[in-house]
Structure 1
């Protein structure tokens, strides 16, 4: 089976965050399954620049699959080369997988897929969530009506959780939706450096403080992540755990200054630390050595970092705007409204639980999200689409 994945940006464009990694791992694992050939059609955009890659030709990616980076005519806007040539990639495929909704490659790819009668899977990547639609520009509703609706009931939609399925069907009520979650490199997160609390604190602050509970969070510093709620919630937690520390990791994308002003106003400069972007082994160690991970996001269609924290053995507090209700049944987290009061109460409850039991429970839940299992689910959906 020849699978043509069409996505606006691809690895190593990691500036776009979690979806880049989840797409990479999906492609790697699907390509290892018998009878599959994966070809990725993308662009060389890297948000404000271009990737240093060879363009407009197929190239082998780590001996797993093929990628073609079409040259981006206007960076992060459109690729004339893709528009002129994507039909060839689609025509040679057995099944087409289009990712993203509000990007220019999507409607033209959907059009050619229909013209060549190719079964198509469309992944909106959380872009149809109510928070994203309500906080986006006014052109989004017109885009959906003009460019997506004509294809909405011919394609199969892909949601990463039941919550995202509901979001899709709220916009397109009769859409056919398959639910396949994102995954994690479970085994990678099993190897971490064990740090004492003092070592952890010194690593990220270069200072010595009284040691106590360590709470971490991670994500691009954007309004949607709800870090302001987290900081206010942490201030309440300090009443019971006065030596606790909060570390927030992530690249600043507009909220860093506001968060620092909030930290200053609450006199939390020696309690809350913005530590910048963390990746690789440092990221694993950051998650594994914490007592609790908290992210009261306003919207996540999946939220890779939640399952990464679980895989590293750290329980989580997630908002009800994310799909992580199952952490409560698995007893490795709380799923609450993203209010200051409920987030603070959830943090206090989790910090009072047995840390080693939470580690066992978290890993047990995370293991089912290994990318190998996710790839098999995608293959089953593709098989079903092609057989029709």
Structure 2
């Protein structure tokens, strides 16, 4: 039975917030297996408070887990420094539970962090459509409309998109795009949404800049390189593509892989490629990495190689930058930079270019590599201090709630 006591309601005055947004997310902290969206939401809460309070309604467990988080009370609003959080058990993270949360909360808007999630987006969207006293709905697709993402379970997604357009189900929804690239992807799926798209870069936390490695990084030796890959093990992250690239390298390489296995069949294919790598390449898999350990892990390595097929933002890239670890990344993310910044963007199709860039990085000695690390850290510091990101996000919520459209 669902209960909502008066003292468990969300108190807007307690936080002194101008706007109160119900943020529905399939997964949130202390979870980490769902990747970037968890970091995005956490950074938004920290950055936009107190002007905007994101009240989190989420599952009581991490991706793939069968039990609730340890030491987390479920089924009620918990007051936290950056706003309240509600960890819902499976029976409550559904249409009836979400509809009750919506009706009891007196929210200014509903913010959904997926388009295709049945319980985290589609269910809440239709629950709100049948609720009196309707409020604006904002959907952040989180990269789900990128060409690479749409290829996964393609027929099912295209069927839902086609019928949504035919019935104009999302004609009054607002869209949060985290980049111009994502705004273009949204328009390709919903051509009539142009006037309802708001572009605001995902906030980042400057706390990441202070999370340094607890251990001393080994000295960089010319001709050798320690590469790290931190991401979910799934086709869209393209670990197998990185393994193909390394086949072309002549340097002595250690590749350490961290991340939850999301697609076991894909991981088996990767392991076959690992078994055929030449002797100059040593590969290790260390499993999932909790978010609090990501920056300190990055700091131990010489390079983050990330030939991803698609990133909506790529918080893992920013974590590497904050740790001072140079990055080679594909052209399928919003990130830009130059080799002098330690951020090398290379087209995904240019595998020879990727192999050459890795070999060039391997050729650096300790002094050369240290200079590059300092350039990366400076880039991250300047990016984190940008006030435009915070202003863009607050303006997005304010303009929608105030009907400035």
TM range (shorter): 0.7 to 0.9
Match of 1:24 in 2: 42
Aligned partner of 1:206 in structure 2 is none
In the other structure, the counterpart of 1:226 is 238
Q: Does 1:2 align with 2:23?
A: no
1:344-378 per-residue CA deviation (whole Å, 9 max, x = no partner) reads 12323444563233223322332355399544432
Residue aligning to 1:122 = 139
C-alpha deviations, 1:147-203, integer Å up to 9, x for none? Answer: 5773534222112222211111111123232222334433334322352437x9xxx
- Separation (CA, whole Å) in 1 of partners of 2:203 and 2:248: 33
What's the TM-score once normalised by structure 2's chain length? Answer: 0.80
Residues 128-207 of structure 1: matches in 2 within 5 Å?
A: 128-147=145-164, 150-175=168-193, 176-190=196-210, 191-193=212-214, 195-197=216-218
Q: 1:11 aligns with which of 17, 20, 29?
A: 29
SS in structure 2 of the partner of residue 246 of structure 1:
strand
- Residues 95 and 123 in structure 2, CA contact (< 8 A), matched pair in contact too: no
- 1:100 Cα deviation from its structure 2 partner: 0.5
Answering whether residue 229 of structure 2 is matched by residue 217 of structure 1, we say yes
Instruction: Give, in whole Å, the separation in 2 of the partners of 1:48 and 1:230.
Output: 29
CA contact 1:13–1:51 (8 Å) conserved in 2: no
Q: Distance in 2 between matches of 1:136 and 1:54?
A: 35
The correspondence for 2:66, drawn from 37, 49, 61, is 49
- Return the match for 2:256 from 234, 238, 247: 247
Superposition map of 1:367-382 within 5 A: 367-370=381-384, 373=387, 374-382=389-397
2:111 counterpart SS class: strand
- Equivalent position SS for 1:276: coil
**Counterpart Cα distance in 2 of 1:259 and 1:362:** 30
Whether 1:337 aligns to 2:347 is yes
Unaligned ranges ≥5, structure 2: 1-18
Change (3 A) 1:233 1:117: same
Superposed CA RMSD in Å reads 3.0
Match of 2:338, SS state, is: helix
Q: Distance in 1 between matches of 2:164 and 2:285?
A: 40
Residues 292 and 351 of structure 1 are in contact (CA less than 8 Å); yes or no, is this contact kept in structure 2? no
Contact 1:4–1:89, Cα closer than 8 Å, also in 2? no
**Partner in structure 1 of residue 333 of structure 2:** 322
Q: Give the whole-Å Cα distance in 1 for the aligned partners of 2:99 and 2:127.
A: 11
- Alpha carbons of 1:278 and 1:42: their partners in 2 closer, same or farther (altered >3 Å)? closer
Q: CA deviation at 1:319?
A: 1.0
- Pick closer, same or farther for the CA change 1:179–1:347 going to 2, 3 Å: farther
- Structure 2 counterpart of 1:203: none
Contact 1:72 1:80 in 2 (8 A): no
Structure 2 CA distance for partners of 1:81 and 1:13, relative to 1, 3 Å: farther
Q: 1:332 and 1:222, CA in 2 relative to 1: closer, same or farther beyond 3 A?
A: same
1:59 maps to 2:78 = yes
Asked if the contact 1:26/1:371 (under 8 Å) is kept, the reply is: no
Aligned counterpart, 2:8 = none
Q: 2:318 aligned to 307, 312, 320, which one?
A: 307
Q: For residues 23-66 of structure 1, give each alpha carbon's deviation from its aligned partner in whole angstroms, at most 9, with x where no partner exists.
A: 123223323x24x43322233353342424444322213x3211
Q: Cα 1:81–1:370, aligned 2, differ >3 Å: closer, same or farther?
A: farther
Q: Which runs of 5+ in 1 are unaligned?
A: 201-208
Change (3 A) 1:73 1:372: farther
Alignment partner of 1:348: what SS? helix
State the aligned residue count: 368
CA deviation vs aligned residue, 1:237-276 (integer Å, no higher than 9, x gap)? 2x2x2x3322222222324333222121124486222222
Cα deviations across residues 63-86 of structure 1 (Å, max 9, x unaligned)? 321122333139xxx624424414
| TM-score normalised by the chain length of structure 1 | 0.83
CA distance in 2, matches of 1:249, 1:327: 25
SS at match of 1:244: strand
Q: Relative to 1, partners in 2 of residues 1:352 and 1:212: Cα closer, same or farther, differing over 3 Å?
A: closer
Contact 1:73 1:80 in 2 (8 A): no
Tell me the CA shift for residue 10 of structure 1: 2.3
Pick closer, same or farther for the CA change 1:3–1:369 going to 2, 3 Å: farther
For residue 99 of structure 1, report the CA deviation from its aligned partner.
Answer: 1.3
Q: Note if contact 2:91-2:97 (Cα within 8 Å) is conserved in structure 1.
A: no
